[in-house]
Structure 1
């Protein structure tokens, strides 16, 4: 049909909806991946927990003991605690290795099972470590370093 000037009128008609599998679905996939990854983490955590519980039932005698640390074990753990927690070095900045620490004093508190160990390095710095067990596992309670007066560096915990 023509209008008065010879043109046909355009008729626009809209039907139905639109489904897009392109960029419009990206947010859905991001949410789906986020939720599924957290669900998988929770499932794995539960599975590992059940595995350890079943192993504990099978072998109930395998556990850490509540005995106090032996002298040699306490000395070694004290050296390790010192090298892990303090940056020990000589006057030239050379690191002090844990084998260079001499155990000069040890004390065991029989009530608590805690050891207090005193070490000395070749450069006269002294180190005090207090360790024992907590929940049947070795635990370091305190580490202290006292530098010789000639070092000019601060001392303390």
Structure 2
């Protein structure tokens, strides 16, 4: 059973992340290694091809827009985009779109956003868009379950 951190430790954790954040690639690699060690690797998974956290700090937008992290994943025939917005209290709101190759029509299925202690299932609408709220910041993995497919496409874990 997981217990929530005391408020004092959450404030201290936030302070450390603001003053001396860990390199994003290091945390992503660490969670990916843990996933592989426990047999969660999927050879037909989602490949992370773009992460706005990798942009140099001086090229990011300032203000509210800088609180958005954009992740772009690739799988055969599809692109999955995830926009993560940091909300009050350290929670995240996710929205995005799944795109098929040109001429293949609008994709159908669902996107599952897995956090450390729960998951959120978001159905694709008629345009391939989805959304979910109240995700916990921290470890995150994205899963795309295409309608009618035998297996889902799973991404490595990363930290948001």
Question: Aligning the two structures, in what range does the TM-score lie when normalised by the shorter sequence?
Answer: 0.3 to 0.5
- If the length of structure 2 is used for normalisation, what is the TM-score? 0.34
Structure having the larger proportion of residues in strand: 2
- Which structure has the higher relative contact order (CA within 8 Å, separation 6+)? 2
Structure having the larger proportion of residues in helix: 1
- If the length of structure 1 is used for normalisation, what is the TM-score? 0.35
